[in-house]
Structure 1
């Protein structure tokens, strides 16, 4: 019975686009209790069948606007199962040992060296584009995989190597995607996901899955993007570090945005902000999430509102972000300016949009990034609506 109740609560909650935290608040409100005797973790226990609501059931039903019978009724025919991260592992095992491990002995010193190179590659990605980094990134990834497969090492060292391969897979996949090599990027992400799962690093696995979901959403595979982004969030659970959970929710927001699903996108943005507010209260975030902060969430919020064509919300957010942005990060600066150009076009400010677009094109000219090139094409296409305005026509003619 508890399994039916949990599944019914989860179904009703998701139909309303509510988070577990939102349902917890609504239940407390309906029950008229002070504080939060019911929290997100308690709702999670109900939904997974680990605990039966018992006395809370009438209040849950009232909060959801359904009868108690609707929550205790047997489930109907099972829906198609949602994908899990295991569905995205490579078909074979590219990390299988090459026969007996007879290669040189690998210790933590070699793992530390690899960790430094991975971090260096990540820092390089902050200021260089995918086209400049793709070769060294792939070279490092192949070397790390061969080190794991051929070397002799203890179980502890092996897991540490797998974590570094997973981290390297995430940044190398990101670099390949930025260079426009999407098929290669997908294979790299899947390899990294396999390494993270074998290392039992659920936070890293979620980061890799979210990165792949982001690419899928941006390359015309929006439905797959939503499924994978949500699978990453669900697999991480409520115990994931606050920064990681905020990042997963950001990816969910973007996936729904690209699919044109407004309410789920706005919900995920709000949940991402709530998650980041918990930073420091739970487990410590891994070092590779150094860039996830309130400013990064503001960037995603502004992009979501731009994509949803709500310029009155997007333009102030983007101006605020850009006023504080590091000008040495040329690619990101060009990308964020491109969103501002589009938002200004939607706000019927074509002259301002042209001025921003000119800066986007100037910054993008020397950046070997397919993402910035695609954004330039999108900006020019949006400005076509104002072709009769002299400034716009001059920009379009010059670009042609």
Structure 2
């Protein structure tokens, strides 16, 4: 079907010609269908990037665009014969519009380097707090800090360089605030925060920070949404990071591996893990790395490897790595320690060691009892469900009796 426009590019072109956002088109389609909203901007995004086909929505697309449905059908057929969908880039995941564009006519006090330094200090303080205070206990402070930073940008005047540094600070703050929101179970808020930060990093010209934000969003999407979309996000983050430092590239590739794992794609996951391991061992050229990479280390990569092996049901590889890391982990970081124990418990169950799995699960659940984290709550439920297969083992039966709610 040479010469026929594919359906994805056609939808994008028709939408943009009318000045509509992806959300606008989704809303108009819902109205045309005459029912409760079933589409959102992510559906439109998937159509435009060739990851989904509209199929049943073609008549409604024809109605809102005022084109013949036959034209859309031919474009759909052309899309089915296309070789591959376009490869997403970081720009594909930016929020609609420009969250900072209305701020061009600022009026207010003039700020400079000291204000930027103060913002950076608060961002780092929030990162350190997240090591020992968790989701639901920290989300209020995180959101206050983010609102204050955006208000500062909106209501102040500054040089171009100070503005760029402020945007970087907002991007870094959005990354940790999004992480905290996800840990508090506020996943939709976390996505909005990540996209706000992605816009700030993009405008600041900081590709490494943009990759970190998009990778964080990919990680949440892999766990809570569409793993295939998470693969596209994580790969776009890795591809778009430019000359990122080694630890940043290792982190991006880690997230690629996790997204592939959640999508059930074992070989690409293993390949990404290998590339991450190679990246972390590369020598830097003396360029200073961003402070937010402080936690990325070979031991953290071992944890991700072990988690991937656990999800792929390869306990003989997972268990030794987890035991090695847990044997030297900082016990004050209760959330991370509990999460790592949860993967060890599942891996031990897969290895047909239910007694040890039960003991590990018991330790994990008791440790996380006072941790205000949606992540640990979810992992406790996963562990106990896995142990249901061994209910006839006394140690497991005792554990399940003590924690029936999960």
Query: What TM-score does the superposition give when structure 1 sets the normalisation length?
Result: 0.79
Q: State the alpha-carbon separation in 1 of the partners of residues 122 and 176 from structure 2.
A: 11
Q: State the alpha-carbon separation in 2 of the partners of residues 358 and 258 from structure 1.
A: 26
**Partner of residue 385, structure 2:** 381
- Mapped contact 1:127–1:328 kept (Cα < 8 A): yes
Across the two proteins, how many residue pairs are aligned to each other? 324
Q: State the alpha-carbon separation in 2 of the partners of residues 324 and 281 from structure 1.
A: 30
**Partner of residue 136, structure 1:** 141
**Partner of residue 199, structure 2:** 194
**Partner of residue 306, structure 1:** 310
**Partner of residue 124, structure 1:** 129
* Mapping of residues 154-303 of structure 1, within 5 Å: 154-237=159-242, 239-281=243-285, 283-303=287-307
Q: State the alpha-carbon separation in 2 of the partners of residues 80 and 315 from structure 1.
A: 38
CA displacement at 1:79 relative to structure 2: 2.3
Higher alpha-carbon deviation: 86-95 or 162-171: 86-95
- Mapped contact 1:240–1:283 kept (Cα < 8 A): no
- Mapped contact 1:241–1:282 kept (Cα < 8 A): no
Give the alignment partner of residue 150 of structure 1, picking from 155, 178, 191: 155
CA displacement at 1:99 relative to structure 2: 6.0
RMSD between superposed Cα atoms in Å: 1.2
Q: Cα deviations across residues 307-345 of structure 1 (Å, max 9, x unaligned)?
A: 111000000000000001000000000000000000000
Q: State the alpha-carbon separation in 1 of the partners of residues 348 and 104 from structure 2.
A: 60
The 3-state SS of whatever aligns with 1:285 is coil
CA displacement at 1:357 relative to structure 2: 0.5
Give the alignment partner of residue 97 of structure 2, picking from 92, 96, 105: 92
Q: State the alpha-carbon separation in 1 of the partners of residues 83 and 171 from structure 2.
A: 34
**Partner of residue 23, structure 2:** none
CA displacement at 1:97 relative to structure 2: 4.0
Give the alignment partner of residue 365 of structure 1, picking from 366, 369, 378: 369
Q: State the alpha-carbon separation in 1 of the partners of residues 369 and 226 from structure 2.
A: 28
CA displacement at 1:137 relative to structure 2: 0.4
The 3-state SS of whatever aligns with 1:127 is coil
Q: State the alpha-carbon separation in 2 of the partners of residues 105 and 145 from structure 1.
A: 15
Q: State the alpha-carbon separation in 1 of the partners of residues 111 and 147 from structure 2.
A: 16
Q: Cα deviations across residues 345-385 of structure 1 (Å, max 9, x unaligned)?
A: 00000000010000111011100000000000000000000
**Partner of residue 4, structure 2:** none
* Mapping of residues 311-330 of structure 1, within 5 Å: 311-330=315-334
Alignment gaps of 5+ in structure 2: 1-80
Q: Cα deviations across residues 16-60 of structure 1 (Å, max 9, x unaligned)?
A: xxxxxxxxxxxxxxxxxxxxxxxxxxxxxxxxxxxxxxxxxxxxx
The 3-state SS of whatever aligns with 1:236 is coil
* Mapping of residues 100-119 of structure 1, within 5 Å: 100-119=105-124
Q: State the alpha-carbon separation in 1 of the partners of residues 251 and 395 from structure 2.
A: 39
Q: State the alpha-carbon separation in 2 of the partners of residues 78 and 317 from structure 1.
A: 40
- Mapped contact 1:97–1:150 kept (Cα < 8 A): no
- Mapped contact 1:241–1:279 kept (Cα < 8 A): no
Q: State the alpha-carbon separation in 2 of the partners of residues 206 and 284 from structure 1.
A: 17
CA displacement at 1:93 relative to structure 2: 2.0
CA displacement at 1:77 relative to structure 2: 4.5
Which 4+ residue blocks in structure 1 deviate beyond 4 angstroms? none
Query: What TM-score does the superposition give when structure 2 sets the normalisation length?
Result: 0.78
**Partner of residue 353, structure 2:** 349
CA displacement at 1:257 relative to structure 2: 0.6
